[in-house]
Each structure stands twice: as structure tokens, then as C-alpha cells.
């Protein structure tokens, strides 16, 4: 999974997609997030749950433990290793959902530059990505060490032609179970290992190469190339 996401609708649209009745505590604001071309280290709205309360905070994409000072902060965690490897041991219990509208991948089609593709749900519902991280809990203020990673798995079906890895996307029902602090760690591991949404739930199409410049923003970046032709 490459490092570009879109998160442009408002936080309450994402809450509605979760269909979660819990009370909401949000520091993400009520306005549309308007991030069409989001990149690592930038802040994204992230959901986590404490007791029966859903929290939405703006958290940087990317995290590394304090002892791993000599490496860049990873943005993704492989589902095959995340529950048992030492790197993510301290944050594996800190389950979260990154709600996005779509993500992007670049494909080598033989031209001078790789072609970007947008990937989204066929039903156009928000994409609920299983994540873990370090983020404000218990009422504490944000920290410079906060961050999150998105859990990824091998691609399947036609999506393999776009990229060999994909985010683990959960249904609203499984997202609620994943977020619930009462869900045992063993059950959480089984959810992300075996119950992510299949490739058939998604569609993808070519978009303008302007998405390659992180300074570019706006709804034109998420339109199919054919829609941009005069």
C-alpha cells in the first residue's frame, strides 16, 4: 500500500458509516476534512474507543517506538506479524479505525512515469481501515510521539495488478468489534487476519498524475481521467 489517502468528508459522515450508537468525543471538528491528497506524517482523523465512548482525534500517519530512533516511522504494519513482533508490541492493544474515502497506488504500465490509480469501495461508502497506534487516551493531551499505522494484507483478485498489498478494510459490524476494548486480543487478531473485505468490494480507475505532488489538493484529483478530458 502506497502512502497516499483521501479523507475529505466530515467526521460525522464517518461516524454514520460506523453505525455506532456510542457517545462521541471529537477533536476533529465538524467541517469537511478536505484532505484529498494526504501523505505520511500528516494528521488524519482516527477513531478509538474508551469504555463506551467513541473518540475522534487528529493523529499523524506513521509511528515508531522510542527505541527505534534510527529508522523512518512506518506507515503500515503487516497483518502477518503485527500481533506478535516486538516492533508493535506496545501499541497492538491500541486498536483504531482510520476512516478514509479512498487510497492511491502507482502502477508501472511501461510509460515514462507510473500511472496513479484511485481505489475505493464500489458502494462509495467510507473505507474503514483497521489500525493501531499511540494517541490521546484518558484525557491526556496529544504528544509528539503520537502516531498510527494501517494494517495491511496481501492483495487478492484483480487488485493484485494494482499493488501486492492493501489495507485491511472492515465492515461496520467488524469495525465496532475491533474498536470495542472488551474484544479479546486473540479475537482481534482473527478479525484482521481472516475477515477483511474482499477485493470484489472495491473498484479502481486511473487518475491524473497531479496526485503525485502532495501540494496539490482538490476534488479534481479523485476524478477518473476520462472525466477530466475536455
Average pLDDT by stretches of 10, the chain with 230 residues: 90 93 87 95 96 94 90 93 93 97 92 92 97 91 92 80 87 97 96 94 94 95 77
Residues forming the active site: 2, 105
Residue 227's pLDDT is: 60
Please state which CATH number belongs to domain 5-228: 3.90.1680.10
Residue 218's pLDDT is: 96
- Rounded Cα–Cα distance for residues 143 and 96 (Å): 17
pTM of the prediction? 0.94
Which cell numbers in the block locate residue 89?
A: 508490541
- Rounded Cα–Cα distance for residues 69 and 10 (Å): 35
Residue 164's pLDDT is: 78
- Rounded Cα–Cα distance for residues 148 and 133 (Å): 4
Q: What are phi and psi of 126, to 5 degrees?
A: -55, 150
Question: Cβ–Cβ contacts within 10 Å for residue 7, how many?
Answer: 27
Assess contact for 107 and 162: CB atoms under 8 A.
yes
Residue 142's pLDDT is: 87
Residue 195's pLDDT is: 93
Amino acid at each position: 500500500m502506497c502512502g497516499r489517502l483521501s479523507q475529505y468528508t466530515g467526521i460525522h459522515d464517518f461516524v454514520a458509516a460506523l453505525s455506532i450508537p456510542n457517545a462521541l468525543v471529537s477533536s476533529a471538528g465538524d467541517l469537511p476534512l478536505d484532505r484529498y491528497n494526504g501523505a505520511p506524517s500528516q494528521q488524519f482523523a482516527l477513531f478509538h474507543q474508551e469504555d463506551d465512548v467513541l473518540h475522534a482525534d487528529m493523529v499523524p500517519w506513521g509511528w515508531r517506538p522510542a527505541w527505534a530512533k534510527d529508522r523512518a516511522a512506518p506507515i503500515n504494519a503487516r497483518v502477518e506479524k503485527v500481533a506478535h513482533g516486538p516492533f508493535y508490541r506496545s501499541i497492538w492493544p491500541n486498536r483504531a479505525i482510520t476512516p478514509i474515502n479512498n487510497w492511491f497506488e502507482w502502477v508501472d504500465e511501461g510509460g515514462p512515469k507510473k500511472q496513479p490509480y484511485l481505489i475505493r469501495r464500489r458502494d462509495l461508502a467510507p473505507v474503514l481501515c483497521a489500525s493501531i497506534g499511540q494517541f490521546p487516551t484518558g484525557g491526556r493531551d496529544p504528544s509528539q510521539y503520537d502516531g498510527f499505522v494501517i494494517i495491511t494484507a496481501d492483495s487478492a483478485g484483480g487488485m493484485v495488478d494494482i499493488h501486492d498489498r492493501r489495507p485491511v478494510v472492515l465492515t461496520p459490524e467488524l469495525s465496532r468489534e475491533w474498536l470495542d476494548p472488551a474484544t479479546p486480543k486473540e479475537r482481534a487478531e482473527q478479525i484482521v487476519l481472516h475477515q477483511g473485505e474482499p477485493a470484489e468490494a472495491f473498484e479502481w480507475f486511473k487518475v491524473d498524475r497531479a496526485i503525485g505532488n502532495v501540494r496539490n489538493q482538490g476534488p479534481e484529483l479523485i476524478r477518473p481521467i476520462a472525466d477530466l478530458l475536455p
